[in-house]
Amino acid sequence: MPEKTKITSAWQTALTQLDNVAKIMMLTEDVHQLLRNFERILTVSIPIRMDNGSLRVFNGFRVQHNSARGPYKGGVRYHPELTLDDLKALAMEMTWKCSLVGVPFGGAKGGIICNSKTLSKGELERLTRRYTYAIMPIIGIGKDIPAPDVNTNEQIMAWMMDTYSMNNGYCTPGIVTGKPVNIGGSLGRTDATGLGITFTIANAIKSKKMNFKGLKVVIQGYGNVGSTVGKLLSEMGCKIVAVSSSKGGVYNPKGLNHNALMKYYKEHGSFENFPNAESITNASLLELPCDVLVPAAMGNQVTKENADKIRARLIVEGANGPITPEADQILKERKIPVIPDILANAGGVIVSYFEWVQDVQCYFWCEHEVNAKLNNILDRSYEEVFQLSQEKKTNLRTAAMILAVKKVVDAIQVRGLYP
Ligand code: NAD
């Protein structure tokens, strides 16, 4: 089934990962084809009135990959370079992520091509509300539940929830996750992805018989995910030796102070000239000697060009798709274990699921309960992936993909083909 159109690397990565496991699992051609394709892709145009009185039309999408195991679930991204191919890759990855950790959702992703940083608050609100209205026919509590992603946040989720509720005729908190807590958001959601990554690192450290104390950690991207990991690992006695933002990073082999980093970034908008640290580029940060490398920024950061130069003992994928398939192969040959994104960063979607469950039941849990349930799911998922990788003598990504794809295939098969 060769693709006829030119495809971007994120989508290529997603397809290659699926094709590789399809071969190992000896999937039938029928099922393989179903999984390579999408149940629905909606393109919408979003006209809004700008503050200066002019009218501007933006383009938006909602991509629904597979709903064999449950309603679609996935974030909404606002980015000037967003492409439909990116969203296809991310939606497919959501199907595998939900399946792997046993969350009863399928995969989706959406977004708008826009530079949200150049829009006023009013323009951003009008854009969000009109986008929500445009995708309303295909979203719903039992249909498709959006969430925040890059450049969207709980305020944007609140506008989405309000727009849907107004059109629906009654308050419908369960339509989105990642909302503010006072309108049905879940305690623990903001830190869930970073906390999940920390639980997963703890499991990997245990199985590699490494010691937590003094562990040297490098984090690319010190945003919501990266900085939560940095904070939690610092509290556990690890040394955060390097961090970065899109403008570059800083390195100190003796360790950086998390609170000082956060304060400095808030004041200066970058880590440039952070005291007692060496300035480094994002590319050189990836090649620093360390125990754990957490790429928590963008996709396709470790490629065949730099995979040979990685000096980490363990890589934990905080971002979605930060390692290309060619780089994955090189790391496998170099025996550098990689905890794949669909396991490592699943904390976000797990707590999003908890949020949805709480909204549907109108019964809310304390943060301790949320975190304990998250820990249970991630411990179980890590154990399943680790055991299968040992059994099949394969890397953790392949094991995770086999487990995830199998549950989706089983659901497709038992449901049968309509009509
Ligand atoms: P964020 O916007 O809060 O932080 C991203 C960080 O990466 C920022 O520090 C930014 O400056 C930096 N960055 C951007 N481009 C960069 C580049 N080219 N090189 C280095 N750094 C760069 O986003 P986030 O919510 O922390 O998400 C980070 C990654 O994790 C994304 O890939 C996202 O898809 C993934 N992810 C997030 C969640 C979640 O719950 N937030 C869940 C799963 C996966």
Q: How far is the CA of 36 from the centre of ligand 1 (A)?
A: 26
Give the start-to-end residue ranges of the domains of the chain.
Answer: 37-183, 192-339
Domain 37-183 and domain 192-339 have a common topology: yes
Atom of ligand 1 nearest to the CA of 90: 34
Residues 372/103/145/183 CA torsion (nearest 10 deg): -20
Residue with the bigger pLDDT between 211 and 347: it is 347
> Three-class SS of residue 102?
coil
Which residue minimizes the CA distance to atom 14 of ligand 1? 246
Nearest CA to ligand 1 atom 20: 246
Residue nearest to atom 22 of ligand 1 (CA): 246
Determine the residue of 82, 150, 200 to mutate for testing ligand 1's pocket, defined as the one with the most ligand atoms within 8 A of the Cβ atom.
Answer: 150
Helix (H) or strand (E) holding 4, with range, is none
Confidence of residue 4 (pLDDT cuts 50, 70, 90): very low
Atom of ligand 1 minimally distant from the CA of 247 = 11
What residues are annotated to the active site?
Answer: 109
- What was the pLDDT predicted at 3? 38
Between 42 and 10, where is the model more confident? 42
Q: How far apart are CA 262 and CA 258, in angstroms?
A: 6
* pLDDT tens-place string over residues 379-407: 999 999 999 999 999 999 999 999 999 99
Please write down the HEC assignment for all residues of 71-84: CEEEEEEEECCCCH
Residue 196, pLDDT > 60, answer yes
Q: How confident is the model at residue 215 (pLDDT cuts 50, 70, 90)?
A: very high
pLDDT: which is higher, 1 or 246: 246
Range 321-331 average pLDDT = 94
**Predicted local confidence at residue 5, as pLDDT:** 40
CATH number for region 37-183: 3.40.50.10860
Computed over every residue of the chain, the mean pLDDT equals 95
Report the separation in Å between the CA atom of 150 and the middle of ligand 1, taken as the mean of its atom positions. Answer: 7
pLDDT-based confidence at 210, cuts 50/70/90?
confident
Mutate-to-test residue for ligand 1 from 298, 300, 317, 341, highest number of ligand atoms within 8 A of CB:
298
Which atom in ligand 1 lies closest to the alpha carbon of residue 77? 34
Q: What pLDDT score was predicted for residue 8? A: 54
**CA pseudo-torsion sign 368, 374, 380, 386:** negative
User: What percent of the chain stands above pLDDT 90?
Assistant: 94
Compute, in angstroms, the gap from residue 299 CA to the centroid of ligand 1. Answer: 9
Kindly indicate the confidence band of residue 257, based on its pLDDT and cuts at 50, 70 and 90.
Answer: very high
Check residue 263 and give its pLDDT. 98
Residues with CB under 6 A from ligand 1: 149-150, 193, 220-226, 244-246, 282, 296-298, 318-320, 345, 348
For 231, the 3-state DSSP assignment is helix
Per the CB < 8 A criterion, the answer to whether 84 and 112 are in contact is no
Residue 346, both tokens: 């699943």
pTM of the predicted protein model = 0.95
CATH of 192-339, one of 3.10.20.600, 3.30.2290.10, 3.40.50.720, 3.30.70.3040: 3.40.50.720
- pLDDT-derived band at 2 (thresholds 50, 70, 90) equals very low
